[in-house]
Amino acid sequence: MRLSRVDLNLFIVFDTIYNVRNLTRTAEILSITQPAVSNALSRLRKTFDDQLFVRTPKAMVPTPVADNIAVQVREALQLLNLSIQEGNHFSPGTSDKVFRLSMNDLPEALLLPALEEKLQASAPGLGIQSHYHSRKEFPDALASGTLDLAIDVPLLNDPQLCHQPLFTDEYVCMVRNDHPLVGEELTLETYLALGHILVSSRPSGVGQVDAAVNNLGLARKIKLRVKHYMVAPLVALRTDLALTVPSRLARQYDARILKLPFDMPPLEWHLYWHKSADLDQANRWFREQLLK
């Protein structure tokens, strides 16, 4: 087999199938049709004279041949990508590149207003697309290049991803200024007597705040559960419900902000990007803007 006779795009398909073990998901990541993925796999099988992936009820399982070449294919793709990136010159002042980010509505609210203000002054042609990908999804999206950066809590350990702390914030309790039960200080007894708002993307289960309270053998009274951070302060400002959130969010509102009467680990956010984009001039510049 000669390399000149092989379509190098096939190796991108191979690498993605190997990572996600699913043809439909591969098509979504690469933004191509599933028949195109199947066709590429068929061509790869002919090239290597091997099945490469065997379909099972749960996943596409790699054959020993696929396992043997996977590391070399990934390294070769990264080397090619790096060669292209090092040759690129990025001029933010004249670029019209659109950076694709993954984050939920909390870092969006805390980061994007100041970031967009900065970009309009120094790089007016740049665009941003923010769309949340779960912790299971964004590593594949970063690997395929459909995402440039992701912002999430530091719970992911993937050797193909680079990450750096973005910011740390303490939790506080936020109530309306004229709250009838809360004074200038908040006792544990008063905190537990309040009704609370819980922000969680999941339909059930406790969050980090409740875990800290439960460790004391106690429990909060959850009166409202919402999916998004930005609606919760609006409810707290118009009701007697209390909201426990990072201080950077709470201080955006005209509200009474109080220190929690129990120990609570701070909230940490990390910035993630794929190793193949580590030296990319545009990616590096944008990371610097977020980290300033």
226-241: pLDDT as tens digits: 999 999 999 999 999 9
Residue range 98-166+269-291 in CATH 3.40.190.10:
yes
Residue 49 one-letter amino acid: D
- Residue 268's φ and ψ, nearest 5 degrees, are -115, 140
Residues β-bridged to residue 46: none
Q: Report the relative pairing of strands 195-199 and 242-246 from DSSP bridges.
A: parallel
Domain ranges of the chain: 3-87, 98-166+269-291, 171-265
**17 pLDDT higher than 90:** yes
Q: If you average pLDDT over residues 120-136, what whole number do you get?
A: 92
CATH number for the region 3-87 comes to 1.10.10.10
Q: 212 is written with which tokens?
A: 């800290």
Of all residues in the chain, the percent with pLDDT exceeding 70 is 95
Arithmetic mean of pLDDT over the chain: 90
Q: What percent of the chain has pLDDT over 90?
A: 71
The pLDDT confidence band at residue 90, using thresholds 50, 70 and 90, is confident
Quick one: average pLDDT of 255-261? 97
Q: For 36-49, write each residue's pLDDT tens digit.
A: 999 999 999 998 99
Report residue 207's pLDDT band, with 50, 70 and 90 as the boundaries.
confident
Domain 3-87 shares a fold with domain 98-166+269-291: no
pTM of the model: 0.69
State the CATH class of domain 171-265.
Answer: alpha beta
